[in-house]
Chains A and B, each alone.
Chain A
Amino acid sequence: MSERRSTNTTYLLVPILLIAVLLGTAAIRAPNLVSLPGVGSAIIVAAPLTLATYALMALAVAGRGTVDLAVGPLLAFINVSIVKLNMLGVVTGPFGIFLVALGIGMLYQLAFALIIIFVRVQPIIVALSGFLALTGINLVILKRPGGMAPEWMSSWGLGNTIFSPVLLILVLATAGWLIFTRSSFYANLRLMGYDERAAYTSGVRISVVRIGAHLIAGVYVGLAAICYTALISSGDPTQGTTMTLTAVTALVLGGVALSGGRGGVTGALLGAVNLFLIGYVLATFNFGAQQAFVTQLFYGLILVCSLLLTLLVPVIGRYIWFISPYAAFAVLGCVVAGIMLHVGTAETYLTASAGDGAGVAAAGDLATRFLLLPPSGGPTWTGLAAPTPLQQAVLALVVVLGTLTVVTRMVVAEALSYRVGLFLYVFVGSLILLLLLLAGQSHAIGV
């Protein structure tokens, strides 16, 4: 029973592990991330990729090896269309732009679905065809990167706050998929993706289901294009190929099966965020002129490694059945939240101590700065006298033992029953919210 449950979502272990490592590294390497503008701009930069990955995910779940290679060029196509229409003054308002973006996305995907259903060629050939055609027509619409995004969009891409319209779009898109998974249509979709013949013989109207999956993907591509337009606030016909390759990579990093039937919004989200963080972390290391090449190399290596790790997932699932992805998420989330909390608040102590004149000479020394530095000027022990070394050791031992016990109990409990899951999500979620609040505070003080 428990084994079966844990294998259902075991594929999420890899992305969760990766995201924890990356987020921790990113927070230590670039403390700017843990601030309101940092998180805000991170969301805005990652949003187009995330939404494009959602679109691919919806198609991948539909099976037949549907990897829409044309997702990047389609995104670029909508992007340049919006910009062109805006420059011509045809469509400028928010409603019209949304209508155009979603409309183009859905129309293209509808054509895609109809071709697969009625012409019955392999999806990858349709995708290839669409890729070449759209890449060409993009350059016809807009010769080179440029143009102007609609004016009302200009404030979206600033990223000086977390609560931007882009976040709203992202949250709505994610929630939309989660609500969609409750419907019987989704059950049919997964059945079709897993075994199309079984779905057909059990009376699922597979044509309708396939069209539905493509329409959903079309909506996501449209939203992704809007976020992308807001991000670069102009049109760019040349980024289609890159976007396709990164979105497919994110999809695989998130553990979505390209063969269909397996995958979800969690995996796609984790994959996209992972990919963004890889780029972010690599950018904090200075490789000089070779920066782009090193990034490329690591993209490739991480892609290969995460693919190879998915081979190990069944083995892991067999022997370590008691670690469920949710528990891993909770534990690692706590650790990472701790690191981020530390980084986010360290600045306060640093400024306080610097004002003290005690001198934080080794501010650049990471170990001193983040692990060993006593907050000399900050809050002091008030109630108790300073503990002796023996007391300190005992206290530390008790804390460690207590934490271990709680964590182990929670891990096992989570693996065996469903109920704790929601609690853990809320727990970790509130931790992260707290962290963001603190970070915002510290930023306000610091600047």
Chain B
Amino acid sequence: MTFPRSLVLIWLNLVLTLVVAAIGFGLGFAQDLPAQQVILYTLVSVAVMFWVTNTVAVAFERRQREEVVPVPASAGGAGSVWSRNRVLIIAMAVLLVAYLIVTATVPSFRTLSNLIAFLVLEVILVLAFKVSKVFEHGRSAFIGLIVLLALVVISSFTIKGFLSEANIKAILLFAAFLGIACVGQTMVALLGGLDLSIPFVIGAANIGLLYLIGLGVPSPVAAGMVLVIGAAFGFLNGLLSYKLQGQALIMTLGTGFAIAGLVQIITSIGSQFSGNVFGTVPAWLSNLAAMNGRTFGLGVPPTIILWIAIAIIVIVGLRYSTYGRNLYALGGNRRSAKLIGISELKYWTLAYTLSGFFAALTGSLLLGWSGGGFIGAGDQYLFTTLAAVVIGGTSLMGGYGGYGFTVIGVLVLQILSSFLIGIGLKYEWQQFIFGLLILPMVALYGRSPHIRAQV
């Protein structure tokens, strides 16, 4: 934990934290929650809040120290404010106008929660434009966290039961499926590739596992086989696309088609239900992924714990292991990485192997969740894995990002989708809003320099 140098800032942070904690405390008792829970949540929020504000303060201080010789205040006044914050002001004004128009025309829109949502959005804009510049790295993570926070605040105000245990569990469970599927996509993206075979592998693993169990293979063995086959398929993917890295997108699409078709042919021979496989899912697999699953007696589906474990391993591994560092080196600059003796083939194929493995794992877990094999189980993951990676802030060109970012992206997507369902929007509207959301999110941190700066 880091503290800012100036004592005033520490006190300011402390006061801020305490005010927030007091509000939470009051709200908690107003909602008639048990006292232990309120105290626990308040303590946690105090710790987190204090840490976050201190980190921001430290970043600010460092920046001020670096800018000992500030840019001479040129014109000053309104002109310079306008020219420096043009985009921000325009964005805020557009939001304000949109809000006013909607409020003026739709009477049912005039509620307190909508006003709060509007204010929160404006604050996000300011934070995203002004504060995020302070962080040199992890700007996307900062913005992602703010959006996450805002989403939670807005949804808990507008949706009844959003913070209920069941809803949080559901959000985390779906986030876990998406998150596990995204592990491979993140690694591959760090190398500058893409893996579009993930949804097909998920679907194939989904029906393949049930088919194997139906053949009489002991279920743990069958699950192991599916995982190994998934990894082998990923290895093949990596090998085939190694020489065609620019077209990895298409290559993995082709292999994905092939594996989905092949598995469907195998499973549907001698069955009149082409495409669907019927059978009984073993109890341990259902328990692993079902909503009412239990982990060693705890009322949490093991998939969530598994995801957290995987996330920690991957994040730490990418950050500290040789494999992780070399992955970044290769993604950042192929040529120099090769010159210091990093085998590109090895890392490329390994990334794809992991991608295949985790896709197969997701497919198996989804089988436990749904209880029936369906080849289309992975369809929605075709672009959402990509969207989660992109929203998190991992560059698709390679070399920048990480799984921690992707976790944020996954949570943003999942909470947003829960929010949209909560306010009664259908699936198609959700997708529409996802699409419109990706662009501004990426535009906030993922802009490439102008061509004249690249010459």
- Stretch of B9-17, B21-29, B53-61, B262-270 that contacts chain A: B262-270
CB distance from B144 to the nearest CB of A (A): 15
Evaluate contact between B269 and A290: CB separation under 8 angstroms: yes
Q: Give the CA-CA distance A259 to B442 in the complex, in Å.
A: 22
Tier of interface size on chain A: 35 or more
Evaluate contact between B247 and A124: CB separation under 8 angstroms: no
Q: Give the CA-CA distance A262 to B105 in the complex, in Å.
A: 52
Query: Is A296 positioned at the interface, with any CB of B under 8 Å from its CB?
Result: yes
Interface centre among A65, A135, A258, A307 (most CB of B within 10 A): A307
Tier of interface size on chain B: 35 or more
Evaluate contact between A299 and B446: CB separation under 8 angstroms: no
Evaluate contact between A120 and B386: CB separation under 8 angstroms: no
Q: Give the CA-CA distance A131 to B243 in the complex, in Å.
A: 28
Evaluate contact between B386 and A304: CB separation under 8 angstroms: no
Docked complex: B404-455 residues within 8 A CB-CB of A:
427-436, 438-439, 442-443, 446-452, 454-455
Query: Is B392 positioned at the interface, with any CB of A under 8 Å from its CB?
Result: no
Asked whether A200 and B452 contact (CB < 8 A) given A293-B274, A300-B254, the answer is yes
Evaluate contact between B446 and A121: CB separation under 8 angstroms: yes
Nearest neighbor of A138 in chain B, beta-carbon distance: B428
Query: Is B382 positioned at the interface, with any CB of A under 8 Å from its CB?
Result: yes
Query: Is B176 positioned at the interface, with any CB of A under 8 Å from its CB?
Result: no
- Map CB proximity to A onto B253-290 as digits: 1 under 8 Å, 0 otherwise: 11111111110110011001011000000000000000
Q: Give the CA-CA distance A308 to B240 in the complex, in Å.
A: 8
- The A interface is mostly helix, strand or loop, or mixed, namely helix
Evaluate contact between B264 and A293: CB separation under 8 angstroms: yes
Q: Give the CA-CA distance A65 to B427 in the complex, in Å.
A: 30
CB distance from A297 to the nearest CB of B (A): 3
Query: Is A122 positioned at the interface, with any CB of B under 8 Å from its CB?
Result: yes
Evaluate contact between A128 and B383: CB separation under 8 angstroms: yes
Asked whether A129 and B261 contact (CB < 8 A) given A249-B254, A300-B255, the answer is no
Query: Is B365 positioned at the interface, with any CB of A under 8 Å from its CB?
Result: no
CB distance from A184 to the nearest CB of B (A): 20
Evaluate contact between A131 and B247: CB separation under 8 angstroms: no
List, in ascending order, chain A residues with CB within 8 A of B240's CB.
Answer: 304, 307-308
Q: Which of A115, A120, A200 is B455 in contact with, Cβ under 8 Å?
A: A200
Query: Is A42 positioned at the interface, with any CB of B under 8 Å from its CB?
Result: no
Nearest neighbor of B243 in chain A, beta-carbon distance: A311
Query: Is B396 positioned at the interface, with any CB of A under 8 Å from its CB?
Result: yes
Q: Which of B265, B396, B429, B450 is A120 in contact with, Cβ under 8 Å?
A: B450
List, in ascending order, chain A residues with CB within 8 A of B386's CB.
Answer: 128
Query: Is B251 positioned at the interface, with any CB of A under 8 Å from its CB?
Result: yes
Evaluate contact between B247 and A120: CB separation under 8 angstroms: no
Query: Is B96 positioned at the interface, with any CB of A under 8 Å from its CB?
Result: no
CB distance from B248 to the nearest CB of A (A): 10
Query: Is B190 positioned at the interface, with any CB of A under 8 Å from its CB?
Result: no
Query: Is B313 positioned at the interface, with any CB of A under 8 Å from its CB?
Result: no
Evaluate contact between B269 and A300: CB separation under 8 angstroms: no
Query: Is A236 positioned at the interface, with any CB of B under 8 Å from its CB?
Result: no
Nearest neighbor of A207 in chain B, beta-carbon distance: B451
List, in ascending order, chain B residues with CB within 8 A of A132's CB.
Answer: 383, 387, 431-432, 434-435, 438
Query: Is B397 positioned at the interface, with any CB of A under 8 Å from its CB?
Result: yes
Query: Is B226 positioned at the interface, with any CB of A under 8 Å from its CB?
Result: no
List, in ascending order, chain A residues with CB within 8 A of B261's CB.
Answer: 293-300
Evaluate contact between A307 and B247: CB separation under 8 angstroms: yes
Query: Is A206 positioned at the interface, with any CB of B under 8 Å from its CB?
Result: yes
CB distance from A262 to the nearest CB of B (A): 12
Evaluate contact between B249 and A67: CB separation under 8 angstroms: yes
Docked complex: B353-396 residues within 8 A CB-CB of A:
382-383, 386-387, 390, 396
Evaluate contact between B428 and A301: CB separation under 8 angstroms: no
List, in ascending order, chain A residues with CB within 8 A of B243's CB.
Answer: 311
CB distance from A268 to the nearest CB of B (A): 15
Docked complex: A135-153 residues within 8 A CB-CB of B:
135-140
Query: Is B306 positioned at the interface, with any CB of A under 8 Å from its CB?
Result: no
List, in ascending order, chain B residues with CB within 8 A of A301's CB.
Answer: 254, 258
Query: Is B47 positioned at the interface, with any CB of A under 8 Å from its CB?
Result: no
Nearest neighbor of A131 in chain B, beta-carbon distance: B383
CB distance from B137 to the nearest CB of A (A): 19
List, in ascending order, chain B residues with CB within 8 A of A136's CB.
Answer: 427-435
List, in ascending order, chain A residues with CB within 8 A of B43's CB.
Answer: none
Query: Is A134 positioned at the interface, with any CB of B under 8 Å from its CB?
Result: yes
Evaluate contact between B247 and A129: CB separation under 8 angstroms: no
List, in ascending order, chain B residues with CB within 8 A of A119's CB.
Answer: 439, 443, 447
| Residues of chain A having any CB pair with chain B under 8 Å | 65, 67, 69, 115, 119-122, 124-126, 128-140, 196-197, 200-201, 206, 241, 245, 248-249, 252, 257-259, 289-290, 292-304, 307-308, 310-311
Q: Considering the complex of A and B, which 3 residue pairs feature the smallest CB-CB distances, nearest first?
A: A133-B435, A300-B257, A297-B261
A-B contact pairs, 11 of them (CB 8 A): A136-B433, A137-B428, A241-B382, A293-B274, A296-B264, A299-B261, A300-B257, A300-B261, A304-B240, A307-B251, A307-B254
